[in-house]
A and B are shown apart, each in its own frame.
Chain A
C-alpha cells in the first residue's frame, strides 16, 4: 500500500465516492448525536466504560486465566494465538478436522485483522461472509472501508451490478430482473445467504465481549446473520482479541448501552447473542475460542497508547472525522481505518519499518472530534502525537545510531532542527524574523511584477498575496500565501516603545494598508 497522502488522492479525485462517504457518515453521525442526547448521564456512562476497561487492562492476565477456566469448564476448547499465523492455523485445523471446505462467517474485525479468509483460501477452504455489507465487499473483490459499514463507499446502483455479476459464481445467483431497490437487494442477499447457512457445518465469529466471570461470549449485530452463524452449524470457532474480556456480566450493562448508540445510532441493537461453551442439543456442539494477541501485549506495554485497547469498535470516530469523510477507509491501507485505525494499526504493527504504517499517525489534523465522540474516551489526538514522536525517534540518527530505522535526514528533519535552534531563544527568533520583514519590503517594492497587490487582501493582516511560489510545496498548489509584512511585531514594539508612541503606530498602520 502507498503511504496515506498518495492513497488519499484516489478518493479525493472521485466525486461519486466523496458524495457516498459524505452522505453516509453524516447520516450516521446525526443519528448518533440524537440518541446520545437522550441519555442524561452520557458523560458519566463514558467515564464508567473507560474505567471498567482500564481496570480490566490493569489485571488483564488474571481475567484471561479466569475466562479460560470458565470456558473450559463449560465445554469450550480454548486456544492461545500469539500472532495472525498461529490464529489462522488453528481455525484451518478445526475446519480440516471436520472435513469442511467452506465456513460461514459473521462479520469480525479480528478475523479481518489476521487475514483469515485469505489464509483459509490457501488451504482450499472458502470463507463466506454473511453480513450484507461484507458480502458486497467480498463479492466485489473489494476491501472493507469502514468498521461498521464496510461497503460505505458503494451506492445501491453499484451493489446491484456486483450482485448480478458475481453472485452466481459464489452460490445462488441474483434474480435476472434485480433492480437497485434496497428491499430487492436485501431479498437477493437473503436467499443467497440462506443456502449457505443451511449447508455449512463450521462457522467462524469474533466477539464484542467475553465475560470472564461466566465464560460467556457476546456478539452484537443488526441483521440476524450472526445469530444464524452462532446457532445453526455444528462447530463454532470464535476468534477473540484478548482486550475484549470484561470481568463480570454486570459490566455488560454499561457497554450494551454505549455501543449501539455510538455505532449505529440506535438505542438498542436488534440482535445480541450470548453463548457459553456447549449446551447439549442446542446450538454448536463443538466450540473453539482462539484468544488472540497479535501485538496487543505490545500496545498494553505502551503507557500512552494502551488506552486504544479500550476500543469497542463502534466506529463513531470514523463518522465524525473530516479526514475519513474525504478520503474513505481504503486510504488508510489497513483493516482498521479512520482515527482509531490511525493509532491502532501502527501500534499493532509497530512503527519505524514501514513507510505506509508510519504515515498513518499523520493522517489527522488533530481536530479532536474523535475524542469528543469516543464512548470509552480514547484521547486519539494524544496518542497520534505520541506515535508521531515514536516515528520520528525511530528514524533519528542520534538515537540508536544507525539502527534498523535509520534513514538520511529528511527536509522536515532539518527544518525542525533549524526551528529548534531559532525558536529556542527570542533574540535568534528576532534575527530570523527580520528576514521575513526584509522579504516583505523587497516584495512590496516589486509587488507589481509579482502580481501581489491586486489579488490579495483576503489573507490575515489584509496584505497582498503570493500565488504559486517555487519551493512553496503542497501549500501553494491551491492556496495563496500572505506576502510577508514589512515589519515584525517585535521590531514595531521596540521602535514604538511598546506601542506607546501612537503617532508612529498609526503611520505604520496606514503605510501597510496602502
Chain B
C-alpha cells in the first residue's frame, strides 16, 4: 500500500519503494483500488467516515502475499485500528477480511528484514544523515533498530545520532492543525536537535512527520533536507538520489556579499 499522502503528495517515495523492491527480486503490484488506510478519520474520531476507506483497503489487497507500507503510521493503523472500524461497520465479512490482512501487512523495514531477510539492500548514499524514529514506528509497531541496521549497510552513508530521538515530532495527524501551536513547539525542538547533529539529511519512515518537520526547516531556511528512508535505500551509484537543499539564509547572505565585493 502506498498511502494516500504519498500517492498524492510524495510520489518519489512510491517510486523509490518500487525500485528498491524490484531490485530485491520482489514482484511489485499497485492495486488501483487502494486509497487510504482511514487513519485521518479514525484518529480524529470519525469512525463512520473511516469505514469506506477500510473497505477499499480490504478489497484492494485481498489475495496478495504481503502488503508493504512505507509508513509506520499507516501500517500501525491497518494492524491496530482496522478491526475497530470493521466492528463499527457491523459487517462480519469485513471483519474477517481485516483480520486476515493485518498479519500480512508490513511496514517497509519490517518487510525487508523479517520477510526478505536482507540487511544490505545494495544502496549507496554518500551523505550524512540522522534518523528520526517516528512514534508509530517506534511504539505502535515496535520496529526497533531495523531502520538503523538498514542504514548502516548503505555505502558512503554517515549515520549521526539524533538527541532525544524518541520524542514525538508533534505532527500527530489533525493534531498538527487542531493544536497547531503546541505541534509547532514540539516540532521546533525536534528540528533543533536534528540541525544540531550537522547532518545533511533528516530521515524518517513517515512522510507525514517529515512534511511537518520539513515545513519548519524550510520556513527557517535551515539548510537541512528531509527524506523518506525508502529513497535512501533505493539510491544506488547508478541512480543516486539527489540531496539538493536550499541555501541557508546565512549562505545566501554571504553569497550576496561576495557578489557585491
Interface set of A (CB-CB < 8 Å, partner B) = 4-5, 8-9, 12, 322-323, 326-327, 361-369, 371-372, 385, 387-393, 412-413, 416-417, 419-430, 432-433, 436-437, 454-462, 465, 467, 473-482, 484-485, 487-490, 492-494, 498-499, 505-506, 509, 512-513
Complex alpha-carbon distance, A220 and B222, angstroms: 49
Contact partner of A412 (CB less than 8 A), chosen from B10, B167, B174, B225, is B174
A378 to B: closest C-beta gap in Å = 14
Q: Are A371 and B139 in contact (CB under 8 A)?
A: yes
Query: For residue A458, which residues in chain B have a CB less than 8 angstroms away from its CB?
Result: 214-215, 217-218, 222-226, 245-246
A-contacting residues, B183-204, CB 8 Å? 183-187
Q: Is B155 an interface residue (CB 8 A)?
A: no
B35 touches A425 (CB 8 A): yes
Identify which of B32, B53, B210 contacts A420 (C-beta below 8 A).
B53
Beta-carbon contact of B175 and A365 below 8 Å: yes
Known: A12-B185, A427-B32, A478-B184. A433 touches B8 (CB 8 A): yes
For the complex with contacts A323-B182, A423-B56, 4 further pairs of A-B residues with Cβ separation under 8 Å are A460-B12, A460-B207, A465-B215, A492-B14
With A8-B181, A326-B182 as known contacts, state yes or no: A478 contacts B246, CB within 8 Å.
no
Say yes or no for B48: interface residue by CB 8 A criterion.
Answer: yes
Q: Does B86 contact A (CB under 8 A)?
A: no
Query: Nearest 3 CB-CB pairs, A to B?
Result: A424-B52, A365-B172, A474-B180
* Complex Cα spacing A65 to B239, Å: 73
Q: How far is the CB of B4 from chain A (nearest CB, A)?
A: 6
Chain B CB within 10 Å, residue with most, of A8, A371, A457, A465: A457
**Interface 0/1 of B213-232, CB less than 8 Å to A:** 01111110111111110000
Contact pick for A369, options B168, B172, B174, CB 8 Å: B168
Let me know if A433 and B40 touch, CB within 8 A.
no
A513 contacts B227, C-beta separation under 8 Å? no
Return chain A residues, CB-CB under 8 Å to B135. 365-369
Shortest C-beta distance, A345 to chain B (Å), equals 16
Are A365 and B183 in contact, CB atoms less than 8 angstroms apart?
yes
Given A365-B135, A480-B215, CB of A454 within 8 Å of CB of B246: yes
Known A369-B168, A423-B52, A425-B56; contact A460-B47, beta-carbon cutoff 8 A? no
Give Cα A210–Cα B252 distance, bound, in whole angstroms.
67
Partner of B30, one of A371, A412, A498: A498
Residues of chain B within 8 A of A484, CB atoms compared = 8-9
Chain A residues near B160 (CB-CB < 8 A): none
* Contact indicator B172/A513 (Cβ below 8 Å): no
Give residues in B with beta carbon < 8 Å to A: 2, 4, 6-15, 18-19, 22, 28-36, 38, 40-53, 55-56, 60, 81, 135-136, 139-140, 166-168, 170-187, 207, 210-212, 214-219, 221-228, 239, 242-246
B215 near A459 with CB under 8 A, answer: yes
Q: How far does the Cβ of A136 sit from chain B's closest Cβ, in whole Å?
A: 26
With contacts A365-B168, A498-B30 taken as known, whether A459 is within 8 angstroms of B179 at the C-beta atoms is no
Residues of A within 8 A of B42 (CB): 385
A387 to B35, CA, bound (A): 26
Contact partners of A489 in chain B: CB under 8 A: 2, 6-8, 11, 14-15, 30
Find the residue from A4, A5, A506 having the highest chain B CB count within 10 A: A5
- A487-B11 in contact (CB<8A): yes
Contact assessment for A457 and B246 in the assembled complex, using a CB-CB cutoff below 8 Å: yes
Q: CB distance A461 to B10 under 8 Å?
A: yes
Majority secondary structure of chain B interface residues (helix, strand, loop or mixed): helix
**Other-chain residue from A4, A412, A460, A474 in contact with B44 (beta carbon distance below 8 A):** A412
Q: Which residues of the partner chain A approach B19 to less than 8 Å between Cβ atoms?
A: 499
Residue among A425, A482, A493 making CB contact with B214, cutoff 8 Å: A482
Q: Please determine whether A459 and B170 come into contact, CB atoms closer than 8 angstroms.
A: no
Distance from B31 Cβ to chain A, minimum over Cβ atoms (Å)? 7
Given A419-B49, A489-B2, A499-B15, are A9 and B181 also a contact pair (CB < 8 Å)? yes
Please state if B18 and A499 are interface contacts (CB–CB under 8 Å): yes
Q: Which residue of B lies closest to A22 (CB)?
A: B189
Q: Which residues of A contact B222 (CB under 8 A)?
A: 458
Q: Which residues of A contact B38 (CB under 8 A)?
A: 423
Q: How distant is B199 from chain A, measured CB to nearest CB, in Å?
A: 13
Give which listed residue, A4, A419, A492, contacts B41 with CB less than 8 A.
A419
By beta carbon, the residue of chain A nearest B50 is: A420
List, in ascending order, chain B residues with CB within 8 A of A366's CB: 43, 135, 172-173, 175
Residues of chain B contacted by A465 (CB below 8 angstroms): 214-215, 218-219
Q: Is the CB of A460 within 8 A of B211?
A: yes
Docked pose: A389 CA to B243 CA in angstroms: 41
Q: How far is the CB of B66 from chain A (nearest CB, A)?
A: 17
Q: Which of A385, A388, A479, A513 contacts B219 (CB 8 A)?
A: A479
Partner of B45, one of A367, A391, A482, A506: A391
Smallest distance from the beta carbon of A137 to chain B beta carbons, Å? 24
In the complex, are the beta carbons of B172 and A512 less than 8 A apart? no
* Contact, CB under 8 Å: A426 / B34: yes
Sampled A-B contacts (28; CB under 8 Å): A12-B182, A326-B186, A368-B139, A369-B135, A369-B168, A371-B139, A392-B45, A416-B41, A423-B4, A424-B56, A426-B34, A428-B35, A432-B8, A455-B218, A457-B218, A458-B223, A459-B214, A460-B13, A460-B207, A460-B214, A461-B9, A461-B11, A474-B180, A478-B216, A479-B215, A484-B8, A493-B14, A512-B12
